[in-house]
Amino acid sequence: MKRLMNKFVLVAAMALFAVSAHAAKERFKPFIMADVTTGDIATVQKQVEKKLKDGGFEVVGSYSPYSGASVVAFTNDALKQNAAKSEFGGYGAALRVSITKVGNDIQVAYINPTYMAHAYRMASDLANITTQLEKVLGNKETFGASKGMRDKKLRKYHYMFGMEYFDDTNMHELAQYPNHKVALQTVVDNLKKGTGGVSQVYRIDVPGKEEVVFGVGMKKTKGGDKYVDDSYIMGIIDFGDKKGTAHLPYEIMVSGKKVYHLYARFRIAINFPDLSMMGDNSFMNIVESPEAIKKALTKIAGGEVKDNYWE
């Protein structure tokens, strides 16, 4: 009997160790490197888009934020349905894959669906989508955070004390209207004009909700603010050997009668959590970008542009 009990304790301890070891591995990073290949960006992009379509995804838009890089946005019914079940789920309705020239290589990388799902507090962790994309595009490695983050930390993430969380809607809000129709039409009209160098990359209507998300590219206009420019910002923060180009494009979302974005101190930090606060290639080098981006997107939203958003 004693021998049996000892065996039981040993088996239980081994099982507990296995569970603990598995839990310790459950850390997520923002990007997945699908492939490293050669050739030209246009050809590789066509191949990527074909793989996505053949794999059951819908390509909703693409753009080149700067020379040597292209981003393809895509979705499917599962992503849209998950967005419909999640508060402010529109932010997670699209995924992004980037094709980036790095030396003689072309890196194909995409945003990690499960990382994003936790960061945006989605109803589902999208583990099935992650598995599906691994089959469709590949998965050589995850990257973008040295240690990665567990789901609980991601779901309550902020970069540091005093900085924004996902649900800090007062900082994310851009404008408010009498109803959803007016709010949406205002954004549509201003995107058509390309107000302030902001252009539409994609649009996704979340099913069953008054919620529409737009992916937007941002470029400095003549006499405009460099701190909104995709190329300028990424030139500072995306300095590693493995490129996080799939951070782009930014989003602007009409939810109900209000227009929102994710304030840059959250939106940039969640995809580049290892960036230091000070020094070369740090947040201090783009300290003006959060308000510059908010001002640019406030113009698209038709809201009141303030000089100081802490007022």
The CATH number of residue 214's host domain is: 3.30.310.70
Residue 9 domain-assigned (yes or no): no
pTM reported for the whole predicted model: 0.90
Residue 23 domain-assigned (yes or no): no
pLDDT (tens digit, 0 to 9) for every residue of the chain, 311 residues total? 445 445 444 444 444 444 444 444 689 999 999 999 999 999 999 999 999 999 999 999 999 999 999 999 999 999 999 999 999 999 999 999 999 999 999 999 999 999 999 999 999 999 999 999 999 999 999 999 999 999 999 999 999 998 999 999 999 999 999 999 999 999 999 999 999 999 999 999 999 999 999 999 999 998 889 999 999 999 999 999 999 999 999 999 999 999 999 999 999 999 999 999 998 888 999 999 999 999 999 999 999 987 654 44
d(CA 167, CA 204) in angstroms, rounded, equals 21
Annotate 72-123 with DSSP letters as a single string. Answer: EEEE-HHHHHHHHHSTTGGGGS-EEEEEEEETTEEEEEEE-HHHHHHHTT-S
Residue 163 domain-assigned (yes or no): yes
**Angle between helical axes of 289-301 and 180-193 (0-180°, round to 10):** 110
Residue 6 domain-assigned (yes or no): no
Check: CB of residue 277 under 8 Å from CB of residue 284: yes
Write out the residue range of the structural domain in which residue 186 sits.
31-301
Predicted pLDDT at 57:
98
Residue 245 domain-assigned (yes or no): yes
Residue 218 domain-assigned (yes or no): yes
- Read off the amino acid at residue 212: V
Residue 15 domain-assigned (yes or no): no
Predicted pLDDT at 25:
62
Number of domains forming the structure of the chain: 1
Q: What's the pLDDT tens digit per position in 61-90?
A: 999 999 999 999 999 999 999 999 999 999
Residue 58 domain-assigned (yes or no): yes
Check: CB of residue 32 under 8 Å from CB of residue 114: no
Contact partners, residue 41, CB within 8 Å, separation at least 6? 68, 69, 70, 99, 101, 106
